[in-house]
Amino acid sequence: MNRRAAWITGTFILVILIGAGGWLAYDKLLRHDIPVYASDIDQFKYGSIGNDEANGLPYLIWRVLPTVFADHLPGPGGYASVGFLWEPGRDHSEAPIGFSHARVGFERMAINCAFCHVTEARLDANEQPKYYIGGASNTVNVLAYQQFLTACARDPRFNADVLLPAIEREVPLSFVDRLLYRFLIIPATRKALLQQGDQFAWADKRPTWGPGRIDPFNPVKFGMLKLSDDGTIGNSKMQVVWGLDARNAIRANAPLHWDGLNTSVHEVVVSSALGDGANAKGIDWNTTNRIEHILRTMQPPPSPIKTDAALVQRGQVVFAANCAECHAKDGARTLTAVPLAELGTDPHRDAMWTTQARDTYNNYREGYDWGFKSFQKMDGYVAETLEALWLRGPYLHNASVPTVADLLEPAEQRPRSYLRESTTIDQDRLGFVTGSCDPAHPPKQGFCYDTTQPGNANGGHLYGMTLTAEDKRALLEYLKTL
């Protein structure tokens, strides 16, 4: 071969190699395939909120962690032990409700709104549970999931020699994928999880959340907004997110969140996505606007509880006299914040949201001018309308009162602790079926809610206390129909 031919052949091979390398890099690290679902409900359950790249876990690692590190989970059953829900017919290797399974370079699993905004419920323990989209999650234990991921990353077994064989027992990998996982994806995932664990260390110093509760804004304050740890405890129950247009029809710019910290549905949707790890690069405004539309228009599910019509009628009168002012659609104080001094429920969640957090969030410009201007600071908690109350237990913003029957009793007579383990409706007392437990010796299964912990107090909201037993029974019957 003469020099010229060798040169041409060499260049040709080089071009092919660069092309193949470029294609591989594109295919393995840059290619985006983020599913968009035809139905709004599927989009809500499985669609991406723009956090796949910034916060998504590599799917194959996510899939084998519960097998390799079963000892770090709070119970048997893999991710079901931290309350993830799969619809009937879906395998546990597929996305549970509340996860987007998308490809951003490689396949990733990232949480979405349904992670915390779907309720599991059944009227009878023998029934198949139903999933109520837009309800407040009563199963997912976000802190336990977070702590599980941290424990995995801190475990010396989190390495390619252990994880790759576990992955290949489930899914065969190509030679290139094996190299990518060994030298890039597994070490980078471990590093990211360790960092995340360190960023979450503040949560270890506070009372645990249990299922259906998170501290919604301290992670944002100490992470995104870079404020220093102020020692506050924000533990609060997840909220229902349906019918947000109906709220604004009652009161223009009705305050959102338990303490009314923002008045704009749009800002709450966007800031929720940011709080869940989305960023300017990942957010797709079509999807974000679609989520907002879903929340604005979604209807609460009607109550399936059978009630006594005469009793309900009497209860409606009791409600009108004692509760309507704050909870009826035409109540003078409905969807306003009731000051703490008057209301008397646990003050911690209110104190967590500071004027400094408000100002910092309104000025948050990281990567994009988000245009936030509706974060505010109110005193107390918002009096919500009570639709689908049957699905919203345990009650109050911190989930401190297991049933509505308990809420109608003076604080001293409400349970000091209760076992949160069931998604069966307590049709008698209204709420979910709960058991009793001793916080000093919590059982292995279920979460023993201890009202003596800071943030968990069950006092206050002393309305209807002086009603006769018959009136309380009638009121409860009426509340079952909402």
Positions that interact with ligand HEC (CB under 6 A):
49, 111-113, 115-117, 142, 214, 216, 236, 238-239, 241, 256-258, 268-269, 272-273, 276, 291, 295, 322-323, 325-327, 333, 338, 343, 345, 349, 381, 383, 386, 389, 392, 395-397, 404, 407, 461, 463-464, 475
Distance set, CA 20 to CA 174, 176, 405 (Å): 16, 12, 68
In the complex, minimum distance from the CB of residue 116 to ligand HEC, in angstroms, rounded to a whole number: 3
In the complex, minimum distance from the CB of residue 165 to ligand HEC, in angstroms, rounded to a whole number: 32
Question: Given the complex with ligand HEC, which of 27 and 42 has the nearer CB atom?
Answer: 42
Question: Given the complex with ligand HEC, which of 58 and 243 has the nearer CB atom?
Answer: 243
Question: Given the complex with ligand HEC, which of 140 and 448 has the nearer CB atom?
Answer: 140
Identify which of 478, 440, 90 has the alpha carbon closest to the alpha carbon of residue 313: 478
Identify which of 228, 244, 209, 176 has the alpha carbon closest to the alpha carbon of residue 385: 244
Q: Note whether 42 and 95 are within 8 A (CB).
A: no
Question: Given the complex with ligand HEC, which of 232 and 272 has the nearer CB atom?
Answer: 272
In the complex, minimum distance from the CB of residue 410 to ligand HEC, in angstroms, rounded to a whole number: 13
Distance set, CA 108 to CA 125, 165, 201 (Å): 35, 19, 25
**Rounded distance, CA 343 to CA 463, Å?**
9
In the complex, minimum distance from the CB of residue 84 to ligand HEC, in angstroms, rounded to a whole number: 12
**Rounded distance, CA 403 to CA 90, Å?**
32
**Rounded distance, CA 357 to CA 351, Å?**
11
In the complex, minimum distance from the CB of residue 107 to ligand HEC, in angstroms, rounded to a whole number: 20
Q: How many other CB atoms are found less than 10 A from the CB of residue 69?
A: 20
Distance set, CA 462 to CA 343, 397, 409, 429, 482 (Å): 8, 15, 8, 18, 21
**Rounded distance, CA 326 to CA 322, Å?**
9
Question: Given the complex with ligand HEC, which of 180 and 274 has the nearer CB atom?
Answer: 274
Question: Given the complex with ligand HEC, which of 155 and 292 has the nearer CB atom?
Answer: 292
**Rounded distance, CA 345 to CA 350, Å?**
10
Question: Given the complex with ligand HEC, which of 167 and 300 has the nearer CB atom?
Answer: 300
Question: Given the complex with ligand HEC, which of 101 and 117 has the nearer CB atom?
Answer: 117
Identify which of 246, 445, 448 has the alpha carbon closest to the alpha carbon of residue 329: 246
Question: Given the complex with ligand HEC, which of 200 and 395 has the nearer CB atom?
Answer: 395
Q: Residues 177, 183, 184, 188: is their CA dihedral positive or negative? A: positive
In the complex, minimum distance from the CB of residue 323 to ligand HEC, in angstroms, rounded to a whole number: 3
In the complex, minimum distance from the CB of residue 434 to ligand HEC, in angstroms, rounded to a whole number: 14
In the complex, minimum distance from the CB of residue 162 to ligand HEC, in angstroms, rounded to a whole number: 29
**Rounded distance, CA 96 to CA 45, Å?**
9
User: CA torsion 313→319→322→327, rounded to 10°?
Assistant: -160
Question: Given the complex with ligand HEC, which of 155 and 379 has the nearer CB atom?
Answer: 379
Q: Note whether 298 and 131 are within 8 A (CB).
A: no
Read off the DSSP letter of residue 229.
P
In the complex, minimum distance from the CB of residue 50 to ligand HEC, in angstroms, rounded to a whole number: 9
In the complex, minimum distance from the CB of residue 392 to ligand HEC, in angstroms, rounded to a whole number: 4
Identify which of 253, 476, 252, 266 has the alpha carbon closest to the alpha carbon of residue 386: 476
